[in-house]
Amino acid sequence: MRWLKSVAREVFGLFVEDGSFAAAILAWLLLAEVALPRAGLYKRAAGPVLFAGLAAILVVSVLRYGRRRR
C-alpha cells in the first residue's frame, strides 16, 4: 500500500511541483481554449498566441524564482 501512495505522489509530482506555475498554465490553457477561437484574431495567429502566453508564464516563473533566491 505504501508504494501505491508513493507512486500516486510521484505521478502527481510529474505535473505539479510549483503550484502557482501549474495553476497559471492551466488557467491560460482554459482561457486560450475558450477565448482564442472567439477573439477575432487573424486565424493563423491563434497558435502563436497560445505559445506566447505559455512562454510568458515560463519567463515570469523562472525570473520570480531567481528573485526569491537572491
Q: How far is the CB of 40 from other proteins (least distance, A)?
A: 14
Instruction: By CB under 8 A, tell whether 31 contacts other proteins.
Output: no
Is 37 an interacting residue with respect to other proteins (CB under 8 A)? yes
Q: Give the Cα separation of 62 and 37 in Å (integer).
A: 29
Residue 40 CA, distance from chain mean position? 24
Counting residues that bind other proteins (by CB under 8 A) gives: 40
Nearer to other proteins, 14 or 40 (CB): 14
Q: How many CA atoms lie within 13 A of 23 on its CB side?
A: 3
Contact between 27 and other proteins by CB under 8 A: the answer reads: no
